[in-house]
Amino acid sequence: FFYWNRFDYNGVFVNGTASLNLEIENLGTDTLNISSISSDETAFVPDLVTFLVLPGESQIVEVSFNPVTAQTYNGILSILSDDADEDSIAVSLTGQGVPGPIIEIDSTSFNVSVTGCDQTENRSLKISNTGGQPLDWEIITGLGYPRNKSLLVIQENDEWSVYMNNFIIFACYNF
């Protein structure tokens, strides 16, 4: 049967998941019985462990990499079958668990007293990243009204200050 002999997952955030597909193809004339698929490293997990592959057909096995610490992981995926030529196949697996970004926000909410239509309030919010990778973030202000566009972001090292001006807290409509 046909297979790939090496998978490299590169860097994956700790407690994250990445998957690669292993295609097992039956090039023979008899049904191929895959009796076992297992990994010697628990961070690598196949979604299928036994199955049959008809002649001329193939089966995709999704192999997930789930690092739990920041380190390099190496393993062997062992595939056992009734193939006359290759009843045991080893696929080399490698991946790197990397620390992800950790967002810290100085406030989780804003308190505003609304007393009338189209009232505006100015607020600031500090966002920090104490993790090991860059933090991608986005702030969506208000309810999407055109006046909600005034947003100032200042970055110093891995700390951002966000200033929202002319933020519509409450809008009135006449129907």
Coil/strand/helix, residue 168: strand
The pLDDT, as a whole number, for residue 16 is: 94
Q: Is the pLDDT of residue 140 over 60?
A: no
Query: 94-122 pLDDT, tens per residue?
Result: 999 999 888 787 765 556 665 666 666 66
Q: Looking at 77-86, 105-114, 123-132, 151-160, which range is the least confident one? A: 151-160
> How would you classify residue 148: left for phi > 0, otherwise alpha for psi between -120 and 50, otherwise beta?
alpha
Is 47 in a helix, a strand, or coil? coil
Q: Report whether 125 contacts 151 (CB < 8 A).
A: no
pLDDT score, position 133 = 79
> What is the mean pLDDT of the segment spanning 71-79?
97
Largest CA distance in the chain: 81
pLDDT beyond 50 at 156 = yes
Could you tell me if residue 142 is left (phi over 0), alpha (psi between -120 and 50 degrees) or otherwise beta? left
